[in-house]
Amino acid sequence: MSLLNQTHNPKLTSWVDSANVENCDFPIQNLPFAIFRLRDSNEAFRGGVAIGDQVIDLAALSQAKLFDGVVAQALEACSGSTLNDFMALPASAWSALRAALSQALTSGSSTEAAVSQCLIAQTDVKFDLPCRIGDYTDFYTSIHHATSVGKLFRPDNPLLPNYKWLPIGYHGRSSSIGVSGQAFHRPQSQTKAPDAAVPSFGPCKRLDYEMEVGIYVGTGNAMGDKIDIDSTDDHIFGMCLFNDLSARDIQAWEYQPLGPFLAKNFASTVSPWIITNEALAPFRMAWTRDSADPQPMDYLASARNSELGAYDIELEVLIETSQMRDSDTSPQKLTQSSFRHSYWTVAQMMAHHTVNGCNLMPGDFFGSGTQSGPNAGEEGSMIELSNGGKKSFELLNGETRTFLEDGDSVIMRGFCAKNGATRIGFGEVTSLVLPAKG
């Protein structure tokens, strides 16, 4: 079973020279989508595609009338202030536009002169959320994270009985999801110390990041219909990096019995680029379940999911403290892991989400849950790095951390690389912690 086509050919090069540089995030084999406008302008936001260090202005390309048919329709759908109209088109339209852009950007293309007029340097643009996120569901798919955190509260029984039977998730608040570069104030709410008789009100003291993959829904489903596990590729538009910031002390007091609330709805952050599901095809891999664990029910299992369900996306987190910025010191990497360790696949998340007839809409968003790996150095959150806040860790410049402090910037990066395929990147997502208001 192969999902590869000519757009994945590692021999392809582009007439945009910066796309051919080794370890470039955005070679011609990637072509991710975003919403942008010129920095410091009042222009309308519109769709763009990354190639090297440039952005193709899809509204300008649409107006150039170089394409017709479904490609012209797709370009028009990308010309508005969100990508929702484009994401609502069939997957075949996403693929057609990607193929047309790949051809137009390939070295020797007859349309080079015309397309070059639609390029803008990425350093000159400002990004917005790539789409209107109508609904957001956060999953909990890393068994390594779930086990590590579970041990802090239930040492003898870290995983609850349902974890290995279904993809756990909760509905979050989409209005507080922002795009990379956002600065946010430390959240405030009630907290209750274990030895306190009553709760108190004030700023969060245990502010944490969560290294996640974000998944964007494309074409939706009608209410009452389910999406079969083998049809999910027709509905998964693409993926991004996602920092689901969390206030651990607020969460500990509020989450029972209904789950996260103010601890999670203040400043989640996405990277600006959506890496399409098609671009990720070379990095899909076999997904397996330990034979000693419960095997997925029929609606969560298929030969296709076993063969191609996992995605080998490398994820890393860096921290840049105020002191690092003031001394012009490079950010320090804290952790690195891979999405391939996920206990549940993206297809299983979508199949489970809709099995009850829940209707997904173009632009709906899934968080994968914190992605931690099985080994030391692969922790996807500070609550794991600090053993629940019991042990601080030292940074290379001598500072120590247990949780995030005011002035800290969290930087997450991601990429896919393997022999026989061109490396593609996700760019990065950054979030800056400001002091609590008031």
Report how far residue 398's alpha carbon sits from residue 228's, in angstroms, rounded to the nearest whole number: 52
Q: Identify the active-site residue in 145, 341, 352, 353.
A: 145
User: Closest Cα partner for 15 from 148, 160, 112?
Assistant: 112
* Secondary structure of residue 335 in the 3-state scheme: strand
Place of tokens 């430390």: 186
Q: Could you tell me the two tokens for 422?
A: 């061109």
Place of tokens 């936001």: 45
Q: How many residues does the chain have?
A: 438
Report how far residue 353's alpha carbon sits from residue 368's, in angstroms, rounded to the nearest whole number: 13
Neighbour count for residue 52 (Cβ, 10 Å): 22
Burial class (CB in 10 A: 0-12, 13-18, 19+), 164: middle
User: What's the one-letter identity of residue 384?
Assistant: E
- Alpha carbon 375 to its chain's center: 22
Place of tokens 């609850």: 160
- Alpha carbon 84 to its chain's center: 17
Cis amide bond preceding 32, omega within 30:
no
User: What's the one-letter identity of residue 416?
Assistant: C
Could you tell me the CA-to-CA distances from 176 to 132, 139, 240, 266, 267 in Å, in that order? 12, 17, 17, 6, 5
The yes-or-no answer on residue 145 being catalytic is yes
User: What's the one-letter identity of residue 273?
Assistant: W
Neighbour count for residue 258 (Cβ, 10 Å): 8
User: Closest Cα partner for 55 from 67, 68, 45?
Assistant: 45
User: Closest Cα partner for 264 from 167, 187, 357?
Assistant: 187
Residues marked active site are found at 145
